[in-house]
Structure 1
Amino acid sequence: MTTALRALTQLASWPDLTEAQPGCGAGRGLRSARAEIAHFHSGRRVDLHLTARMIHHFESDLRRSTAIRLVPGSHWVTIRLECDTDVDLLMTLVSLALRAHQGRPDFGDTSHAPCNDHDVTVLARENAGGG
């Protein structure tokens, strides 16, 4: 079982999430009552709809993580799942995403904002940083 499949199985058991076809049409998805939350695009890559407000709020922390890729202007973050620590990070960020979508509306952010599936190339950790 891949890291992403283990994470998807865990998250699908959360009461606020249901499995659904991702809006981008690729992979498997999870959504809340209000928005798409996650798209599992491969055995190791997940796009998470964190919202523009949350990305801005945690941007410096997100940029420090080698597991996370940000795409300028996107309301989604891409997470590379290579180990249990990355899954723990995903679980924390899904909690933040659920909170963000339950809170007051973010008018710069829509539930139909496209994920990063076609906008980002995720490098393996050993290639990240140019070395």
Structure 2
Amino acid sequence: MTTASRAMTQLASWPDLSEARPSCGTGRALRSPGAEIVHFHSGRRVDLHLTARMIHHFESDLRHSTAIRLVPGSHWMTVRLECDTDIDLLMTLVSVALQAHHGRPDPDGTPPPPCNDHLSAVLAPQHADSG
């Protein structure tokens, strides 16, 4: 069982999440009543709809994680799931995403912002020794 399938199994049991077809058309998704929350694109890569506001709020911390990839201006972040610690990180971030979307559902008729699956300009984490 891949790390993504283990994470999907755990998250699918959460009462605020249900399986849905991802708006990007790739993989599997979980959504809350108000928004798409997570897209599982591969056995190790997941896009999480944290919201641009929350990504900006936590950006300095997120950039230090080797598991996180950020795309400028995106409402989504990509999480690489390599080990159980990455799954734990995803669980925490999904909880934050649910809080970010609570009371702020996607407006009817408005498609969700696109996930990072089809974007090629994903930024690598910044490291103090790079440059």
TM-score grouping bracket, smaller chain normalisation: 0.7 to 0.9
CA distance in 2, matches of 1:115, 1:85: 23
| Aligned partners of 2:78 and 2:116 also within 8 Å | yes
CA distance in 2, matches of 1:57, 1:95: 15
Distance 1:38 1:69, change over 3 A: same
Q: Secondary structure at the match of 1:47?
A: strand
Deviation at 1:121, TM superposition (A): 6.9
Matches within 5 A, 1:98-117: 98-104=98-104, 112-117=112-117
1:16 and 2:12 are equivalent in the alignment: no
Corresponding residue number in structure 1 for 2:126: none
Structure 2: tracts of 5 or more residues without a match: 124-128
Structure 1: tracts of 5 or more residues without a match: 124-128
Distance 1:117 1:65, change over 3 A: same
TM-score normalised by the chain length of structure 1: 0.87
Whose helix proportion is higher, 1 or 2? 1
Corresponding residue number in structure 1 for 2:70: 70
CA distance in 1, matches of 2:103, 2:67: 26
Q: Secondary structure at the match of 2:78?
A: strand
Identical columns (%): 79
Counterpart residue identity of residue 49, structure 1: H
| Aligned partners of 1:48 and 1:77 also within 8 Å | yes
Note the aligned Cα RMSD (angstroms): 2.5
CA distance in 2, matches of 1:97, 1:7: 15
Q: Secondary structure at the match of 1:90?
A: helix
Deviation at 1:105, TM superposition (A): 6.9
Per-residue CA deviations over 1:69-96 (Å, capped at 9, x if unaligned) read: 0001100000000000000000000000
Distance 1:103 1:78, change over 3 A: same
Per-residue CA deviations over 1:46-88 (Å, capped at 9, x if unaligned) read: 0000001100100000100000000011000000000000000
| Aligned partners of 1:71 and 1:120 also within 8 Å | no
Deviation at 1:114, TM superposition (A): 0.2
Distance 1:121 1:82, change over 3 A: farther
